[in-house]
Chain A
């Protein structure tokens, strides 16, 4: 009995350590800029929040293109998510419901494509975008993000579609539904968890991407937050406090949004392959 109590104490200490490990940096990024100009350096050694001054947050929002970056990030991430969900669900359906030559080849190509280094793809991709005259646009950036999210989405949804018995669909056909209708009314509702997982994954990948953004967009009005914030970091006009405010303004919304969908993200992660 005594050993068991000791074990429980040990367990809760470990749990607390995991909590600190996971959240302390976020906590610190948030409370430091909240100390405002005067407290930022002065109170830098205090463990607890010492102020609620939004000046630094307001500064980065008003004095840089931060709002534009924010908007771009949401547009790109949303577009990537929608396109990925739509195309990967369609492909996964075809790949699991039909027998045809080249099916395994396609699946394997997806898997290999998923493992290719981003830089290897980004260099020629930029060449293609320049040739097409769409370099330095958020449209091109969206397409480049799909290079990561589409193969993952197809794999993930193929494994989902396989778990849904064909009989279900067949009985819908017997009842007079055609392929399209049985897909929408029978399969999609069953697939919803998988589709949400792919969506959450795509959104996070696209929203946090720095590598493709850095290479593909260069004008201020096309930059996403990671690229824009890195630009601000290199410029000397702003102080450290503002930079941290900027970091907090991207990290916190991610954590809040994520808290609603963590279940689906973990599922995708465990399914074998969230890139990171």
Chain B
């Protein structure tokens, strides 16, 4: 790659709040776009169409089909389907199993995001300090994120084993009773704990990139004013990195709400349905009971719930921000 004259050719990308991308995508960029002239047309199509067609096949068509499937009743993927209108949707909203699964999904997503956020921010604050081996530690701290979930569940099932697990050995060594991490009352907690372990690096590294945008001068002057570390964190770090925190919560919320593999591999939704979240229920209904229409309707409903939650979340926080700006402007007058 040699050295060039372009300052940011190494691609240092500043983290962009994902909900802001679509508005600002072409703002501020040097004008690099031009109308398509005839000579370029074949080039244009050859570059755009393959990706676009694939995108249609894997995303657009399936999304439309999912809604359509939800209007039918079929006992398998190859079976004859009968049109039932909105009956699947009505049935879902009446079923107790759905509401319970929704509740569990919110508990699972909420608790694991909270855990990831606290731990991830703590890790980022450490990694943001200058010390020997900092760069290596940054690389190492991503490891939990890239380990396949199947290896995570197999590994932790062994580490948390009641009689032979190293964790229980440690607990017993401290003089406490051994804990059965997989009994009905504990299963959800264990699933959350594993989710926090695996997905915290995302929060840590994205937050770290935000921390690097906070100017050191701000901290220095605050320290001179006698602000302690705790005050500096709440008065400087949090307000400055607010957008990044919002984005992290949004993205992690989205992904934890849809998380299927970890719970399915760890508990399969059990014991006694204690960890049956919406994605697990959707899989179970569609691929174990072969109620494809009902399963699709469930998937559509969970998507709607997710989108409404997301929209509400964005509205609440962007409004708060607007109000604050307004108040600040008032004070200036």
Taking beta carbons and an 8 Å cutoff, which residues of A are in contact with B? 8, 11-12, 14-15, 18-19, 21-23, 25-26, 28-29, 32, 41, 44-45, 47, 83, 87-88, 90-91, 93-94, 96-100, 104, 106-111, 113, 115-128, 130, 143-144, 146-147, 150-151, 154-155, 158-166, 179-180, 189-190, 192-194, 197, 204, 207-208, 210-211, 214-215, 225-226, 229-230, 233, 240, 243-244, 246-248, 250-251, 254-255, 258-259, 262-263, 265-267, 269-276
CB distance from A196 to the nearest CB of B (A): 9
CB distance from B61 to the nearest CB of A (A): 7
Interface residues of B in 62-98 (CB under 8 A from A): 62-63, 65-66, 69, 77-78
B156 in the interface (beta carbon within 8 A): yes
- Of chain A, the residue at the smallest CB distance from B74 is A127
Selecting from B125-133, B180-188, B233-241, the interface stretch reads: B125-133
- With A98-B35, A119-B258 in contact, do A111 and B21 touch (Cβ < 8 Å)? yes
Interface of A is mostly: helix
Please name all residues of chain A whose beta carbon is closer than 8 Å to the beta carbon of B146 when the two chains form the complex: 204, 208, 254-255, 258, 265
Mark contacts of B11-49 with chain A using CB atoms, 8 A cut-off: 1 yes-contact digit, 0 otherwise: 111011010011001100111111110001001101110
**Cα of A272 to Cα of B258 in the assembled complex, Å:** 18
- Of chain B, the residue at the smallest CB distance from A12 is B131
User: Among B46, B57, B62, B138, which residue has the most Cβ atoms of chain A within 10 A?
Assistant: B62
Mark contacts of B95-135 with chain A using CB atoms, 8 A cut-off: 1 yes-contact digit, 0 otherwise: 00000000000000000000000000001001101010110
**Cα of A90 to Cα of B47 in the assembled complex, Å:** 5
**Cα of A57 to Cα of B165 in the assembled complex, Å:** 20
CB distance from B27 to the nearest CB of A (A): 10
**Cα of A207 to Cα of B151 in the assembled complex, Å:** 12
**Cα of A44 to Cα of B206 in the assembled complex, Å:** 37
- Of chain B, the residue at the smallest CB distance from A207 is B148
B299 in the interface (beta carbon within 8 A): yes
**Cα of A125 to Cα of B4 in the assembled complex, Å:** 45
B287 in the interface (beta carbon within 8 A): yes
Contact call A128/B34, Cβ cutoff below 8 A: no
Choose among B4, B63, B149, B209 the residue that contacts A226 (Cβ–Cβ < 8 A).
Answer: B149
- With A11-B129, A210-B149 in contact, do A255 and B61 touch (Cβ < 8 Å)? no
B205 in the interface (beta carbon within 8 A): yes
Choose among B4, B139, B154 the residue that contacts A244 (Cβ–Cβ < 8 A).
Answer: B154
Contact call A273/B142, Cβ cutoff below 8 A: no
Please name all residues of chain A whose beta carbon is closer than 8 Å to the beta carbon of B50 when the two chains form the complex: 87, 90
